[in-house]
Structure 1
Amino acid sequence: MSGPHGTAFSGRVGWGARPAVLVVDLVRAYTDEGGPFLLPEPRPAVEATAALVDAARLGGHPVVWTVVRYTRGMADGGLFAAKVPALAAFAEDAEGGWGELVLAPAPGEPVVAKQYASAFFATSLAATLHAAGVDTVVVAGVSTSGCIRASATDALGHGFRPQVVRQACADRTPELHEQNLRDLDAKYADVVDLPEALRHLGR
């Protein structure tokens, strides 16, 4: 890496022998008209994620999904719900079905319910992946600056090799998406393009 920090950043963690695809919070709240977190152009990320999921299934690799879910009245929302009031759309008694997944998990694919940004925080995800022998987590979903960033960072902290797929993530603006990808690639994950991810999942 050029610049004042020289080679201090942007090393590679690379791919291990056993990847899994992690689809983070790809629910209707981000993709459907009227959704509280509607993204400007969600369809390309949805299509890229679908391609990753198909490749993982064909290659015999695990696929794990996450959703955000709160109890009635948001008692388990903590300060995150105070910071982001629109999260109330994911309460059990909320109307609109905004927490429904856009793509359908196959039978036997775990769906992890979480209350905070990271897919790993206070969930069984790390144990599930370790038990399956997974060493590489291919991250897709929404949003790049929030749950993708937090999940990729925590994947690294749990000893996995995070691979964030550029085309399979999206955010509120293209600038926010790209800024966070640059920072993730510098410090916490390898940001890869869809063709590279598909090649590795096809092995």
Structure 2
Amino acid sequence: MTGPHGTAFSGRVGWGERPALVVVDLVRAYTEAGGPFLLPDPGPAVRATAALVEAARSAGRPVVWTVVRYDRGLSDGGLFVRKVPALAAFADGADGGWGGLVLEPVPGEPVVAKQYASAFFGTSLAATLHTAGVDTVVVAGVSTSGCIRATATDALGHGFRPQVVRDACADRTAELHEQNLRDLDAKYADVTDLADALAHLRRSPP
């Protein structure tokens, strides 16, 4: 990174030997008409994520899914549901089924329910990945400025190498998507493209 900060940012964490794919909140609320968080063009990110899932499965890599889920009265939503009232769409019994996953997990792939932005905060995700010997977390899903950013930042804090796949994430504007990818790449994660991520996921485990 050039400029007033010289090379202070944008080092590389690189890839380890045992990556896992974490698909963050890729649910109907973001992809289907009428969804409370509908994105302008979710199709490319969904297709890229599907390719990552296929690659990870074919190589025997772990795939973990996350969803947002609250009890019926939102009592486990804390201040987050006050800040983002539309999260009520993910409460137990809410109309619309907006929390349903767009892609289908297969048996043996954990689905982690979370209440906040990060897939790690208040969940078993870190323990699950450490127990599986994972050293690299490939992050895909939505949205780039929210749950992707929070998950990648926490992955770094938990000792994993975060790899955010540019093509497999999306946000409510292209500007937000690109700005957050630039900042993530500068400070908290490596931002990679789909072809590179697929190549790493397809490598035979050591």
TM range (shorter): over 0.9
Within 5 Å, which residues of 2 pair with 1:91-170? 91-170=91-170
CA–CA separation in structure 2 for the residues paired with 1:59 and 1:2: 38
State yes or no: 1:29 paired with 2:29. Answer: yes
Instruction: Give the CA deviation at 1:43.
Output: 0.5
Q: Which residue of 2 aligns with 1:38?
A: 38
CA–CA separation in structure 2 for the residues paired with 1:133 and 1:169: 25
Look up the SS of the partner of 1:164 in the other structure: strand
Q: What amino acid sits opposite 2:163 in the alignment?
A: Q
Structure 1: give runs of 5+ residues left out of the alignment.
Answer: none
Q: Which residue of 1 aligns with 2:20?
A: 20
Instruction: Give the CA deviation at 1:127.
Output: 0.1
Identity of aligned residues (%): 83
CA–CA separation in structure 2 for the residues paired with 1:124 and 1:8: 33
CA–CA separation in structure 1 for the residues paired with 2:128 and 2:77: 24
CA–CA separation in structure 1 for the residues paired with 2:165 and 2:69: 25
Look up the SS of the partner of 2:154 in the other structure: helix
Instruction: Give the CA deviation at 1:93.
Output: 1.4
Within 5 Å, which residues of 2 pair with 1:165-180? 165-180=165-180
Structure 2: give runs of 5+ residues left out of the alignment.
Answer: none
Q: Kindly provide the CA deviation profile for residues 160-188 of structure 1, in whole angstroms up to 9, marking residues without a partner as x.
A: 00000000000000000000000000000
Q: Kindly provide the CA deviation profile for residues 15-57 of structure 1, in whole angstroms up to 9, marking residues without a partner as x.
A: 0000000000000000000000000000000000000000000
Q: What amino acid sits opposite 1:163 in the alignment?
A: Q
CA–CA separation in structure 2 for the residues paired with 1:59 and 1:3: 41
TM-score normalised by the chain length of structure 1: 1.00
Q: Which residue of 2 aligns with 1:75?
A: 75
Q: What amino acid sits opposite 1:41 in the alignment?
A: D
CA–CA separation in structure 2 for the residues paired with 1:93 and 1:100: 12
Task: Tell me the matched-pair count.
Answer: 203
Q: What amino acid sits opposite 2:2 in the alignment?
A: S
CA–CA separation in structure 1 for the residues paired with 2:120 and 2:19: 16
TM-score normalised by the chain length of structure 2: 0.98
Look up the SS of the partner of 2:67 in the other structure: strand
CA–CA separation in structure 2 for the residues paired with 1:125 and 1:2: 36
Q: Which residue of 1 aligns with 2:50?
A: 50
RMSD of aligned alpha carbons: 0.3
Q: What amino acid sits opposite 2:84 in the alignment?
A: V
Instruction: Give the CA deviation at 1:125.
Output: 0.1
Look up the SS of the partner of 1:72 in the other structure: coil
Look up the SS of the partner of 1:78 in the other structure: coil
Instruction: Give the CA deviation at 1:122.
Output: 0.3
Instruction: Give the CA deviation at 1:159.
Output: 0.1
Instruction: Give the CA deviation at 1:73.
Output: 1.0
